[in-house]
Structure 1
Amino acid sequence: MTAITVYRQFLAALSANLIGFSFGWMSAWANANYDDLKSNSTTKTQLQDGPITLNQASLVMSLICAGGLVGNIVYLFVLNKFGRKNPILFLAVPAIFSWLFIIFAENVYWLYASRILCGFVGGALFISVPVFVSEICQDEVRGTVNALGFVVNAVGSLVGFIVAIFFDFRVQAVCALIVPFLFVFVFYFVPDSPMSLYNKNKIELADLALEFYKGANNNNMSPESEKIMVEEKKCEKNDDSGISIKDFVTTRAARRAVSIAILLVLLPQISGCYILLSYTTSYFIEAESRLSPIESSILVCIVQLVANLFTMFLVDKIGRKILFTLSSMGTGLGLFVLAMHNMYKHLSSNFVPIYGLSLTIFIASIGLIPIPFVITVDVLPPKIRNITMTMTSITMWCVGFFMNFAYISMLQVIELHGCLLVFSAGCFICAMYGLIFIPETKGKSPDCIVKLLEKS
């Protein structure tokens, strides 16, 4: 591994994750404009049909999960047939139309369509970009480069909230349209992954891509590069064609990998972190924070961005297992403190929601939120990786849709402090699972991880 190959891997991953920047902005748009769309104020830009209702607002927030479900299913087949690069490149199309629907929206149904397309982009990129990145990166930097996606997504969210301060929801969409076009211009020149090209029998292009990303070539091949070439060609044979149920259950490693992948996207959903990120502005209003909701959301985005940068530097140094377990425990403690504050507001400072939620999201963003996706890519064998990641993403979007839609009802029944206590308990369950069942995959090759899963 040389500096130039790592540099190329990093730039290729950054280019692919530009669509994640757009998705982060899309996600922030709904959060930033949630209260304005419901407002009766004449100073706010409205839809032609007037302000939306509470149930309609809940659907606007939740339909992103329905779109994500569709994106997962569609891209399971698309990735197998068309490789990695072209399907990722195509995501610019639904991203562009998502913003166009907002610009020309006449009623709430236009926003529904926009959010479904937004979810489609998210669902597709969550299974396509990590696979692409894992196939172009070497074991020593795989976790760091995969964590880059969360940094780019957080930057997109931050930009979305900042732009929302100065412009109404339609002008925000006009500004955001530049990102998908920039993504197409940059990512078009990036080579596809060697494994994808081998699977499509484009041997010459695959050899060139392997040389570009990992420094392997037939004329001057180092022992390390020779090992990489062998692994890539072996993975070529382990494509997704002819997959049967036996591939998931015949070996202990496959069974454990699938169960870990599904539980790692399911358990963090009950931690409430995604809910709090989706309803940041509403949380600060409910908690009677001194900062305006949009200012508080920007603060949280900055905190999340800094945390994701920490993750990039820590994930390949101290390991996935430790980060996930400690982050889950810290997030659980933070949510418990926030619940106590909400129950006894008259006894505590109004700055507790600001600093408490910021610290909690910082801790969650170091491990609980990003690490499950890194570990999932690590533990899954190449032959069942695509279909299992689709299964896990479907699980995530289904549970996410239910949690987002049910959160409003939960607030009315058990109030905010009750929700926070439930989420806190979910975090401690995540910590226990991470401590007992998750293997450490830091710096390990796919073969080593399979052996680890077989023995443990």
Structure 2
Amino acid sequence: MLKGRPLQYFGTCIALLNMLGMGWPSPFLPVLERDPLTSITKDEGSWIATTYLIAGPVGSIIAGIALNKIGRKRSLLLSALPFLTSWIIIAITQRLGFLLLARFIAGIGGGAIYSVLPIYISELVDPPIRGFLISVMGTLTIVASLFINILGYYVNITYSSLICTLPSVVFLLFFPFIPETPNYYIVNGKIDVARKVLSQVRGRQIDAEEIQELVESNEKGLAKAGVLDLFKIASNRKGLFVCLGTMGAQQLAGIVPIIFYTQTIFEKAAADFPVIASTSLLYVLLIVFSAVSSAIVDRLGRRPLLITSISCCCVALLMEGVNLYLKSQGGLNSIGLSWMTLGDLSFLVIGYSIGLLVLPSVFLSELFPLNVKGLAVGFCNIYFSVVAAAVSKLFQITSDHYGLHVPFFVFSASSFLSLVFAVIVVPETKNKSLEQIQIDLRNKDEHNKGEQTHLLKKYCSEQ
């Protein structure tokens, strides 16, 4: 039986398998638009993409409720079923109504995974490798997208969809043998079971004193909490503010619609190289540099990577906006523009990969106590889905009506504001236990209150 770090790595890898069934092959849309049986318009195609995001809040709400009711492990097992169902529907029929239904069902699974998986990993693994393993989620998402897109170029929709069910099938076969997190048992008062699981996960015997310290450090997390506790308790507000801000920064960098509409962007730039080659290059860069980020996030820290990432995105988006604007005014030849576009987008995905791709999930898993973690994750993922859907539609509407350069300028300005937010607000959590992070958040709030009281007394004494 696996114990200690080998169990932590193996369990995380099996849990991450479920993410390989996510994604939507962009080569499918041109095929569906040309097929006389489907005749999908571009607007309908954009809804196929955004329906997944719209359904995300449903999965987040369900997962937020299920986390403490049935556990993290069972919640993850259930999240695989929507992916299986959606791909089977797409394999059977490509009618618009069924495609929208399939993507909605898949979105429920996606919302559930992003709500549960960061919590599961953060509670299962040791602090020195927590950031690395959670950040691998972002890398796996890109690997899944690259795999599905390449598959979509060479295999028809039916067979591609059936192949995409395989990761979820493998996950369902192996994940039942991975343990539940000790924290779930503590939340439900099963201290003896928590001690046994913790011994297996840590690879050593856990004595009564050690488990008691863990319980006491989570006393506030064991108390019942409602939605309002996210906003009434200062440390929770701080964590929520950081998570919403970093998720907003992630989406307002515009990488999701830019990747989705890569083919359109290169066509506008009159690219003289195969679109599949440029698209594959962007995905490879995302994978390589997100892997680099995962490897160094626990060494360099969260803040430096986030600030560097947002800065790179801001500059790359501005450069590409200028390129596309000059092209629209006839100021650049098509050959020069196409290569500049490839360079700008490559710089963008590199910058995005080293921080924005992975760090919001890391913060979401680290900044909340046990009693509100499910509520916080559900709330943040609802926000994430709404912002992501809005950004995708914003890209389509502004580029169609005002020019392709406009959304790039908007995203660049948004990234500048995100940079200010990251510098001023975002804390460092490197190598800290979940309990220590909560202590730091509470102590900072108490320190701020003390300073406010001191200033008030000083002001009153001077009057």
What TM-score, normalized to structure 1? 0.90
Asked if the contact 2:187/2:370 (under 8 Å) is kept, the reply is no
Instruction: Report the equivalent of 1:253.
Output: 235
After TM superposition, what 4+ stretches of structure 1 lie above 4 angstroms from structure 2?
201-204, 225-229
Q: Distance in 2 between matches of 1:106 and 1:142?
A: 41
Q: Distance in 1 between matches of 2:211 and 2:185?
A: 15
Instruction: Report the equivalent of 2:291.
Output: 309
Q: Give the one of 141, 149, 164 matched to 2:137.
A: 149
Relative to structure 1, the CA distance from residue 402 to residue 230 in structure 2 (aligned partners, 3 Å threshold; closer, same or farther) is same
Instruction: Report the equivalent of 1:7.
Output: 6
SS in 2 for 1:188: helix
Q: Distance in 1 between matches of 2:372 and 2:175?
A: 26
Instruction: Report the equivalent of 1:35.
Output: 30
Q: CA deviation at 1:327?
A: 0.4
SS in 1 for 2:27: helix
Stretch of structure 1 that moved more, 134-143 or 376-385:
376-385
Q: Distance in 2 between matches of 1:228 and 1:18?
A: 31
- What residue identity is the alignment partner of 2:312? G
Gaps of 5+ in 2: 449-463
- What residue identity is the alignment partner of 2:24? A
1:444 paired to 2:432: yes
Q: CA deviation at 1:449?
A: 2.1
Q: Give the one of 243, 265, 277 matched to 1:283.
A: 265
1:341 paired to 2:323: yes
**Cα deviation code 1:227-272 (max 9, x no counterpart):** 576325643772473436246323x322211221222212322221
1:79 paired to 2:67: yes
Matches within 5 A, 1:119-268: 119-218=107-206, 227=210, 230-231=213-214, 234-235=217-218, 238-239=221-222, 241-243=224-226, 245-246=228-229, 248-250=231-233, 252-268=234-250
Asked if the contact 2:225/2:372 (under 8 Å) is kept, the reply is no
- What residue identity is the alignment partner of 2:133? V
- What residue identity is the alignment partner of 1:295? A
Asked if the contact 1:195/1:235 (under 8 Å) is kept, the reply is no
Q: Which has the larger radius of gyration?
A: 2
1:273 paired to 2:269: no
- What residue identity is the alignment partner of 2:123? E
SS in 2 for 1:256: helix
Q: Distance in 2 between matches of 1:294 and 1:244?
A: 46
Asked if the contact 2:48/2:103 (under 8 Å) is kept, the reply is yes
Q: Give the one of 78, 90, 96 matched to 1:108.
A: 96
- What residue identity is the alignment partner of 1:173? S
SS in 1 for 2:384: helix
Instruction: Report the equivalent of 1:91.
Output: 79
- What residue identity is the alignment partner of 1:293? V
Asked if the contact 2:86/2:103 (under 8 Å) is kept, the reply is yes
- What residue identity is the alignment partner of 1:160? I
Q: Distance in 2 between matches of 1:99 and 1:186?
A: 20
Q: Give the one of 384, 388, 395 matched to 1:400.
A: 388
RMSD: 2.2
SS in 2 for 1:344: helix
What TM-score, normalized to structure 2? 0.89
Asked if the contact 2:220/2:369 (under 8 Å) is kept, the reply is no
The percentage of counterpart residues that share the same residue type is 23
**Cα deviation code 1:59-107 (max 9, x no counterpart):** 1011011111110111111112101001101122111111011111151
Instruction: Report the equivalent of 2:314.
Output: 332
Gaps of 5+ in 1: 40-45
Q: CA deviation at 1:216?
A: 4.2
Q: Distance in 1 between matches of 2:8 and 2:197?
A: 11
Q: CA deviation at 1:20?
A: 1.1
Stretch of structure 1 that moved more, 265-274 or 175-184:
265-274
- What residue identity is the alignment partner of 1:28? W
Q: Distance in 1 between matches of 2:188 and 2:169?
A: 27
